[in-house]
Amino acid sequence: MTDYREILRLKSLGFSERNIARNCSCSRNTVSNVLKRARELDIAWPLGPEVTNFVLNEKFYPKETANVSDRQMPDFAYIRKELLKNGVNKKLLWTEYLEDCRLNNTEPLMYSQFCHYIREDEQKRRATMHIERKPGEQIEVDWAGDPAHIIDPDTGEITKASVFVGVMSYSQYAYVEAFINEKQQAWITAHVNMYQFFGGVARILVPDNLKTGVVRPSDWHNPQLNQVYQEMAEHYGTAIIPARVKKPQDKPNVEGSVGGISTWITAALRNEQFFSLSELNQSIREKLKEFNSKPFQKKEGSRIGLFQDEELPLLAPLPTTPYEMAQWKQATVQFNYHIVDQIYVDDHT
């Protein structure tokens, strides 16, 4: 919509119509027509905050806005979702909106009005708007802060179990699994199992800067990844982009889901006793199913519903075989030309 307020303000400061047009990104004819209508209606700067551009538009051009309330309004929730997809723009959505109005035998909005109401909807949500992600684009992974516990049935010794969390950024659909430690074997196994659980691969993988994944986290633009982790990413055809150090906003969904996971899973199981890792993970899977099926508090649907409907079809297919972890070592050549350790050692041998 034309910025009528700014045109009137600049005119009151003595700007020429040419300069006003340049500053307001509109034509000189538009500026001339607005100033002419303002003189006819005795409207001049200063104006109160309640006199918005939309109000001025109704006063300047009443015929164009008289019947807006009788016209079919866009489906803003659908538009917000569609604009996140590659190649979708407002012009395309307006064309589809026109076809929908034709089928419903209702009067459509003009393109400028269509865009205006979309901007108004964006403004209403801006105060609490989270960072939007495209469906199927990104997975965020981390270890949960609170560990689970396993009891040795013979000695009664309590062992802490680390909880891995992987979250689809768009739908917040989560995967959780417990491990005895946070070493590389557990880290890679967690990713392999996570991809099998999701049934596909996202384009981007966002981990924290833990040593099993990132060797040198200081350089965010060119981090040095662990070689095994890099091989795993190449096997699944994904790109690893580590979050910046002390920047949780780079992976807000996993940071938020870790708290939810701690409540729904770790805390919910606090009074239960587990004597093996398999028992613990069995209970985690049951709680995870409840967590993903739980309805959203502030919008319709659930994590699993949103994932299956909008993300799963966009994930890249899994490779024919899961990634098998290999351990890389740097060997030293002895004085007799013999090598003690193999350079490449298969972890399964």
Domain count, the chain: 3
Q: Are residues 101 and 186 in the same domain?
A: no
Q: Is the Cα torsion angle 13, 16, 22, 26 positive or negative in sign?
A: positive
Q: Is the Cα torsion angle 79, 80, 85, 86 positive or negative in sign?
A: positive
Q: Return the axis-axis angle of helices 28-40 and 53-60, rounded to nearest 10°.
A: 80
Q: Is residue 131 part of a domain?
A: no
CA distance 53 to 90: 21
Residue 349 confidence (pLDDT) above 70: no
CA distance 254 to 15: 51
Q: Are residues 108 and 147 in the same domain?
A: no
**Residues β-bridged to residue 206:** 140
The mean per-residue pLDDT over the stretch 272-279 comes to: 90
The mean per-residue pLDDT over the stretch 33-37 comes to: 88
CA distance 108 to 334: 81
pLDDT score recorded for residue 319: 93
Q: What percent of the chain has pLDDT over 70?
A: 76
Q: Is residue 183 part of a domain?
A: yes
pLDDT score recorded for residue 201: 94
Query: Which range has the top average pLDDT, 99-113, 231-245, 248-262, 271-285?
Result: 271-285
CA distance 143 to 161: 11
Please answer whether residues 196 and 318 qualify as being in contact, where contact means their C-beta atoms are separated by less than 8 angstroms.
yes
pLDDT score recorded for residue 191: 94
Instruction: Determine the structural domain holding residue 253 and report its residue range.
Output: 138-328
Q: Is residue 150 part of a domain?
A: yes
Residue 90 confidence (pLDDT) above 60: yes
Amino acid found at 136? G
Q: Which two tokens stand for residue 250?
A: 């780079």
Higher pLDDT, 58 or 180: 180
The mean per-residue pLDDT over the stretch 245-260 comes to: 55
Query: Which range has the top average pLDDT, 136-145, 198-207, 226-235?
Result: 198-207
pLDDT score recorded for residue 347: 44
Q: Are residues 179 and 44 in the same domain?
A: no
Which residues in 274-293 are b (16+ Cβ under 10 Å) and which e? beebeebbebbeebbeebbe
203-235 per-position pLDDT tens digit: 888 887 666 656 555 444 555 677 888 889 899
276-303 per-position pLDDT tens digit: 999 999 999 998 998 899 888 767 788 9
Q: Are residues 96 and 181 in the same domain?
A: no
Give me the CATH number covering residue 302: 3.30.420.10
For the chain, the average pLDDT equals 79
In this structure, the number of other CB atoms found within 10 A of the CB of residue 256 comes to: 15
Q: Are residues 58 and 187 in the same domain?
A: no
Please answer whether residues 134 and 170 qualify as being in contact, where contact means their C-beta atoms are separated by less than 8 angstroms.
yes
Q: Are residues 159 and 308 in the same domain?
A: yes
pLDDT score recorded for residue 127: 44
Q: Return the axis-axis angle of helices 4-12 and 17-24, rounded to nearest 10°.
A: 140
pLDDT score recorded for residue 280: 92
The tokens 């026109």 sit on which residue?
Answer: 98
Residue 197 confidence (pLDDT) above 90: yes
Of the pLDDT bands very low, low, confident and very high (cuts 50, 70, 90), residue 348 is very low
Residues 6 or more apart in contact with residue 273 via CB below 8 angstroms: 151
